[in-house]
Amino acid sequence: MIVALDIGGTKLAAARVEGGRVLERLEAPTPTHDRGPEAVTRAALELLRPLLPGARALGVAATGGVAEGKVTALNADTLQGWHAYDLQGALHEATGLPTAVVNDADAAAWGEAAYGAGRGVENFIFVTVSTGVGSGLVLGGRLYLSRHGLHAEMGYMRAPDGTPLELVASGGALDRWARERGWEGAREVVRRAAADPAAEAKLTESAGLVADKLADLKVMLGLERAVIGGGLGLSAGYLERVRAALGRLDPLYALEVLPAALGADAGLIGAADWAGRTSQ
């Protein structure tokens, strides 16, 4: 049995995981009064404490750039003051367990590779289209990681106008666009798409931008499959729009697109499996 921890900007999740199955899951909000690394680590350890007995390793999925167990926030509003913070060392010292830390999208990619929609192929990308756009790569059956911690960041690839993709194609981007019109947010854009041409155009634009980047990565990396997750990515009709956009391109760019299979547990399962493999 391995314990897993998922550190996000709004939520902390912890679980006991065995054989790709979540046996027990706990959640708590990420501290709002102090999002510095020490405060978040204390809150995470408090959440983990009842799950630790009997564990042989600890796997951690963390938002931000991760290099050699150290975490640097890519968005200062999400985690404040995180710059090369040795999260792996802090958690290992506190728990005594072999500890592995990976980026949350990388953890989800590995979870889908080992137990979900990435099984059966060696080269695939996991993309979560949610508040932002996150991604993780599995190439040659191995999780792709860089020494400096910045890798597979599809959300920071540039749209045709030079803007980072997640600023124009994410659920957060649709939220901003919707509220300018007095709508509730991205969910209302999805609901209105069938009857409102403007909502349909905006949703199709988002899916098309994601598809364009997938097409580029397919021919660059030899991808066999893309796995899509996230609140917007798994909303009604979104995958079909991505597939349709890819289908309008030359067959050279054809790529299988599947929905994520592990849902909100992908990061926990992936982090646990990664820790289990690297701690042996």
Instruction: Collect all residues with Cβ–Cβ distance below 8 Å to 209 and sequence separation of at least 6.
Output: 159, 165, 168, 169
In this predicted structure, what is the pLDDT of residue 262? 94
- In terms of Cβ atoms closer than 10 Å to its own Cβ (0-12, 13-18, 19+), residue 144 is middle
pLDDT (tens digit, 9 = 90+) per residue, 191-240?
999 999 999 999 999 999 999 999 999 999 999 999 999 989 999 999 99
Instruction: Collect all residues with Cβ–Cβ distance below 8 Å to 112 and sequence separation of at least 6.
Output: 118, 119, 124, 126, 227, 229, 260, 261, 262, 266, 270
Q: How many CA atoms lie within 13 A of 234 on its CB side?
A: 15
- Report the Cα 247 to chain-centroid distance in Å: 25
- List of E strands, 131-263: 133-139, 142-143, 225-229, 256-259
Tokens of 131: 């508040």
Helix axes 266-278, 104-115, angle to 10 degrees: 80
pLDDT (tens digit, 9 = 90+) per residue, 49-69?
999 999 999 999 998 899 999
Cβ–Cβ < 8 Å for 97, 114: no
Q: Per residue of the chain (280 residues), give pLDDT as tens.
A: 999 999 988 899 999 999 899 999 999 999 888 888 999 999 999 999 999 999 999 999 998 899 999 999 887 777 888 999 999 999 999 999 999 999 999 999 999 999 999 999 999 999 999 888 999 999 999 999 988 878 889 999 999 999 999 999 999 999 999 999 999 999 999 999 999 999 999 999 999 999 999 999 999 999 999 999 998 999 999 999 999 999 999 999 999 999 999 988 999 999 999 999 887 5
